[in-house]
Amino acid sequence: MEKGSVFIAENNYKYFLEKFNEFISPISQTYAYCLLPNHFSFLIKLNSEEDIFSWLKKNQKIADDTINLQDFKNLSNRLIENFNPFSAHISKQFSSFFIAYNKSLNKEESKIGREFYKIFGQELLSSEEQLRDTLLYIHANPVRHGFINCMSDWKYSSFNSLISDKPTQLKRTEAVALFDNIENFKFCHQEHNQKLVQKLESKVLN
């Protein structure tokens, strides 16, 4: 059993995504994801402040149910400098997500499952080029780490869902539009896959 593993058994992957949909999907839009045994990556866009505020009120996550959006934005915390109520609630959603998943593991596994708290990080993307590059990077993770040679063979990523026409909660239209159309989406992924495999093979030969 690998130290620092996030997913131990097959059912962990499914449960992790179920908890993601429960805690994170209500406040965000998911463009891409990939789950590997010892780490995971998601490309998401947070919902607007108006949508998040509406969801928080609807689900009784705000103590004062009479507060309006502007008053909520003006909330302050004397103990925290530059306090942002939206950031606080978003952080709480992620924390609840991780805790809920970790509780699903048995006593032995939970010692390993907690490791992902230490490696969780985030990066703000500000251009379509960054979005495209990140989406490609996420889908190529299983190839990059030597699990497979073709990204379409990995079950625990969004790639196959994005190129299919089956119903999905992913922002398929928006993700594909980053590459103009589905044909170019597939082409760019295939090209990226081939270059990565060639690079890895070259390292082995050297």
Q: Which residue has the tokens 């082409």?
A: 187
Encoded amino acid at 38, one letter:
N
Contact predicate 52/86, CB 8 Å? yes
C-alpha span between 131 and 124 (Å, rounded): 10
SS3 state of residue 31: strand
Phi first, then psi: give them for residue 203, nearest 5 degrees.
-65, -40
Average of pLDDT values for 75-82? 69
Measured between alpha carbons, how far apart are the two ends of the chain, in Å?
Answer: 30
The pLDDT mean for the chain works out to: 88
The lowest-confidence range among 35-39, 72-76, 202-206 is 202-206
Strand ranges inside the chain, DSSP E: 28-36, 39-46
Is pLDDT at 166 greater than 60 in this prediction?
yes
Buried b (16+ CB within 10 A) or exposed e, 46-75: ebeeeebbeebbeeeebeeeebeeeebeee
C-alpha span between 192 and 199 (Å, rounded): 11
The whole-model pTM stands at: 0.87
C-alpha span between 131 and 152 (Å, rounded): 20
Q: DSSP labels for 150-174?
A: SGGG-SSBSHHHHHS-S--SS-HHH
CB neighbour list of residue 61: distance below 8 Å, 6 or more residues apart: 55, 89
CB neighbours of residue 121 within 10 Å: 5
Is pLDDT at 152 greater than 50 in this prediction?
yes
Q: By percentage, how much of the chain surpasses pLDDT 90?
A: 64
